Amino acid sequence: MIDAVSFENNTLGYLDQRLLPLKEEYVRTKSYQDAIGAIKTLAVRGAPLIGIVAGYTVMLGLNSFDGEKETFPDYFKKLIAEVEASRPTAVNLFFATARMKEVYDTHYASSSLEELFGKMLVAARKIHNDEIANCDNMARHGVELIRQDFAEILKTRKLNVLTHCNTGTLATGGSGTALGVIKHAWNEGLIEKVITAESRPLLQGLRLTAWELEQENIPFLSISDSSSAFLMQKGMIDFGIVGADRIAANGDTANKIGTFAHAVSAERHGLPYYIAAPVSTIDISISDGTQIPIEERDADELRTIFGTQVAMPSTPVLNYAFDVTPAEYIRGIVTDKKAVVGNYVSELQKLID
């Protein structure tokens, strides 16, 4: 079993995902600054896992507080701001800090710091445990939807599924969002093969999803991101399913850059394209995808390939880490509560209420 993240003895432990699959290095730290660095550099990544690590990072920050109770509110405010500045797109991070702030707001006045920190640890662990449980629920709802949408085809053969980036245990701590659905569908005998798009520039598909599938003995084929339309044209893909970093109230979905291009290709070929994400990834406060903050990352992620310079150092680069797939390209959004098909505006709101 992959141990993506842990929190024991006031120490955060995580598998450094930058090194996979060539090296499995488990890092342990008590420093909240190190934990923020791990989020920024994608040593830990994937929306639900970023949320889990954000909760534990707040705990590390609390544990290094050594002032009087009166000075704590200022310290806490700065700590939360630092954690929130680590990555902008995955709303799970802000969901986690909101949970921690809620505990602070409710209990600060009436508790000692020790009691308060104890309550906050319970909240951080709950974020982690909830995300694990969410994966199992998404897997169930996702497989139901696939069975329903492919009832005819499944009478004669299994399905080939395209996925992008990494949405498995490494991204969630549980079985995964999109990859969790895929794993469950494979166990149920619905899947022939998983096509994993490489996910340039940091190669989460080629490095991480392939590694997870190998561990689970699930057959897969890795492709360059630009191959998906051609494979669809050749009938080699039946549907796509990906995760999400933030879903707006109307269903527009931000996910790893390249997600939208696959969706356009799927639409062109009449293939269903699904999103799988926990309710913690829905940002009901924004009406559509134009309001989702999209992270731009360092130009050298493109100009170099894992440390090797491949472009002129002066090459101007635009390196968006995510794109937004408009809701009309999405056949269904599989959440931990249910799979939503059709009217996202009213259905997503109901999931939050």
Q: How far is the CB of 47 from ligand MRU (least distance, A)?
A: 4
Q: Interface with ligand MRU by CB under 6 A: which range of 44-52, 121-129, 300-308, 332-340?
A: 44-52
Please say if 245 is a catalytic residue. yes
- Span 284-323, contacts to ligand MRU by CB under 6 A: 321
Task: Identify which range of 40-48, 138-146, 323-331, 343-351 contacts ligand MRU by CB under 6 A.
Answer: 40-48
The residue sitting closest to ligand MRU, measured at its beta carbon, is 243
Query: Considering the complex, what minimum distance in angstroms separates the CB of residue 123 from ligand MRU?
Result: 21
Whichever of 62 and 242 has its CB closer to ligand MRU, that residue is 242
Which of 343, 222, 214, 340 is CA-nearest to residue 277?
340
* Span near ligand MRU by CB under 6 A; candidates 171-179, 223-231, 326-334, 343-351: 171-179
Side-chain half-sphere CA neighbours of 321 within 13 A: 25
Phi, psi of 197 (to 5 degrees): -75, 140
Sole window of 18-26, 120-128, 164-172, 342-350 interacting with ligand MRU (rule: CB under 6 A): 164-172
Per-residue x/- marks for ligand MRU, 115-154, CB under 6 A?
A: ----------------------------------------
Look up tokens 């150092």; give the residue: 313
State which amino acid sits at residue 238.
D
Give the total of residues touching ligand MRU (CB under 6 A): 19
Phi first, then psi, for residue 250 (nearest 5°) are: -95, 5
Amino acid at 353: D
- Residue 272, CA distances (Å) to 76, 328, 332, 338, 339 in order: 45, 11, 8, 18, 14
348: left (phi over 0), alpha (psi -120 to 50) or beta: alpha
Using the minimum distance from each CB to ligand MRU, give the nearer residue, 297 or 331.
297
Cβ proximity to ligand MRU: between 20 and 121 the closer is 20
Determine the Cα–Cα distance for residues 207 and 218; give it in Å rounded to an integer: 15
Residues 56-95 that bind ligand MRU (CB under 6 A): 90
Instruction: Determine how many CB atoms are found less than 10 A away from the CB of residue 191.
Output: 22
Binding mask 192-231 for ligand MRU (x = CB under 6 A): ------------x---------------------------
Q: Quote the crossing angle between the two packed helices 47-63 and 72-84, to the nearest 10°.
A: 150
> For residue 239, what are its two tokens?
């549907």
Choose the catalytic residue: 130, 149, 245, 283: 245
Window contacting ligand MRU (CB under 6 A); options: 120-128, 222-230, 240-248, 326-334: 240-248
* Contact between residue 270 and residue 229 where contact means Cβ atoms under 8 Å apart: no
Positive/negative CA dihedral, 242, 200, 281, 261: negative
In terms of Cα–Cα distance, which of 178, 172, 215, 170 is closest to 196? Answer: 178
The separation between CA 307 and the C-alpha centre of its own chain, rounded to angstroms, equals 25
Q: Which is nearer to ligand MRU, 104 or 137 (CB)?
A: 137
Q: Given candidates 57, 86, 167, 228, which one binds ligand MRU under the rule CB under 6 A? A: 167
Name which of 61 and 205 has its Cβ closer to ligand MRU. Answer: 205
Judged by the rule CB under 6 A, the positions of this chain that interact with ligand MRU are 42, 45-48, 90, 165, 167, 171-172, 177, 204, 242-245, 255-256, 321
- Provide the annotated active-site residues: 245
